[in-house]
């Protein structure tokens, strides 16, 4: 039973990300067509090269290569959601607690190879090895902090791209206008050239606000959820080491899960509150 839970569920497509991009692009392109425009009006390979290349170059200058590579690898996290079901984790930990209470914590050594989550495996391994409780907590909390900082840095890759893309788009527009100024004699070409020049600005703003900044927010949300799950795992293993009754462990972890959900909802409410006004009337 515990081994089954230890597999962690794997990944599944995040339909919200796919649907969001489709709705956003559909709304913009649909509005263009309703206004009598054509897809060819915003189909400019040169503008795309300028915006994408310039944005990537700027991000490479500001971001350490190891973080940049990690951020690129995390791109799948925008479209694929890893399963972190707290209920499954709780059931897994209760299974270990029950066995440890009957046969001693050393009996859990045979379960280590069946655990797929590296964090849970390391925490339980330290517990089985008889590591001091305070030392165990310190080691695993340091790992949580390091993972949180790494995830934050990788999400900032997309935040940086979101900041640079509109400016690079303006550079592309200026470059286009420079080319237009070379042929002022033909007013028809001037009008067409100006319209084409501003496509780079559209690409820059769209890349920033439709993908880069939303991707950064989603990766931060994923990281926050993963950290809360790791904290729940740590509390469970610490409770096993303390010899707590499995029923009490279940109650403790269920309350911990609810507290984490409550804090997350409160943080979201505070983020959505108007500037200068408190999120609640408490205190």
Average pLDDT of span 177-181: 82
What value does the mean pLDDT of the chain take?
A: 84
Q: Compute the distance between CA of residue 272 and CA of residue 129 in angstroms, rounded to an integer.
A: 46
268 — pLDDT class (breaks 50, 70, 90): very low
pLDDT value at residue 280: 39
Q: Compute the distance between CA of residue 47 and CA of residue 165 in angstroms, rounded to an integer.
A: 12
pLDDT tens sequence across 190-234: 767 777 788 999 999 999 999 999 999 999 999 998 899 999 999
Higher per-residue pLDDT: 184 or 78: 78
pLDDT tens sequence across 67-97: 999 999 998 888 888 766 788 889 999 999 9
Instruction: Determine the structural domain holding residue 245 and report its residue range.
Output: 11-259
Q: Compute the distance between CA of residue 194 and CA of residue 33 in angstroms, rounded to an integer.
A: 20
Tell me if 168 is assigned to some domain. yes
Average pLDDT of span 169-177: 90
Tell me if 138 is assigned to some domain. yes
Tell me if 267 is assigned to some domain. no
Tell me if 52 is assigned to some domain. yes
149 — pLDDT class (breaks 50, 70, 90): very high
43 — pLDDT class (breaks 50, 70, 90): confident
By the 8 A CB rule, do 202 and 13 touch? no
Tell me if 79 is assigned to some domain. yes
271: pLDDT strictly greater than 60: no
147: pLDDT strictly greater than 80: yes
Nearest to 153 by CA among 237, 90, 62: 62
Q: Compute the distance between CA of residue 165 and CA of residue 110 in angstroms, rounded to an integer.
A: 52
Q: Number of structural domains, the chain?
A: 1
Tell me if 277 is assigned to some domain. no
281 — pLDDT class (breaks 50, 70, 90): very low
Tell me if 279 is assigned to some domain. no
Average pLDDT of span 244-267: 73
By the 8 A CB rule, do 100 and 107 touch? yes
Q: What percent of the chain has pLDDT over 70?
A: 84
Per-residue buried b or exposed e for 191-226, using 16+ beta carbons within 10 Å of the residue's own CB? eebeebbbbbbbbbebbbebbbbbbbebbbebbbbb
Q: Compute the distance between CA of residue 251 and CA of residue 30 in angstroms, rounded to an integer.
A: 52
Tell me if 45 is assigned to some domain. yes
Q: In degrees, to the nearest 5, what angle opens at C-alpha 153 toward C-alphas 152 and 156?
A: 90
Whole-model pTM: value is: 0.77
pLDDT value at residue 273: 45
């Amino acid at each position: 039973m515990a081994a089954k839970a230890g597999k962690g569920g794997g990944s599944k497509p995040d339909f919200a990300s796919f649907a969001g991009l489709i709705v956003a692009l559909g709304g913009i392109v649909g509005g263009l067509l309703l206004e009598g425009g054509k897809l060819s009006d915003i189909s400019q390979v040169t503008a795309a090269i300028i915006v994408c290349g310039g944005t990537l170059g700027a991000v490479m200058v500001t971001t350490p290569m190891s973080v940049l590579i990690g951020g690129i690898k995390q791109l799948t996290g925008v479209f694929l959601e890893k399963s972190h079901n707290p209920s499954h984790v709780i059931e897994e930990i209760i299974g270990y607690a029950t066995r440890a209470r009957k046969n001693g914590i050393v009996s859990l050594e045979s379960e280590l190879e069946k655990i797929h989550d590296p964090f849970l495996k390391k925490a339980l391994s330290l517990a089985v090895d008889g590591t001091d409780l305070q030392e165990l907590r310190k080691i695993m909390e340091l790992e949580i902090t390091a993972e949180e900082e790494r995830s934050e840095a990788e999400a900032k890759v997309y935040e940086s791209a979101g900041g640079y893309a509109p400016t690079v788009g303006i550079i592309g527009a200026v470059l286009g206008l420079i080319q237009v100024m070379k042929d002022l004699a033909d007013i028809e070409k001037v009008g067409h050239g100006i319209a084409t020049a501003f496509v780079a600005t559209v690409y820059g703003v769209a890349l920033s606000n439709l993908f880069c900044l939303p991707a950064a927010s989603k990766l931060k949300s994923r990281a926050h959820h993963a950290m809360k799950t790791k904290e729940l795992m740590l509390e469970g293993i610490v409770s096993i080491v303390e010899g707590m009754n499995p029923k009490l462990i279940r109650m403790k972890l269920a309350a911990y899960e609810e507290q984490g959900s409550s804090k997350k909802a409160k943080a979201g409410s505070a983020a959505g509150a108007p500037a200068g006004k408190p999120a609640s009337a408490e205190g």
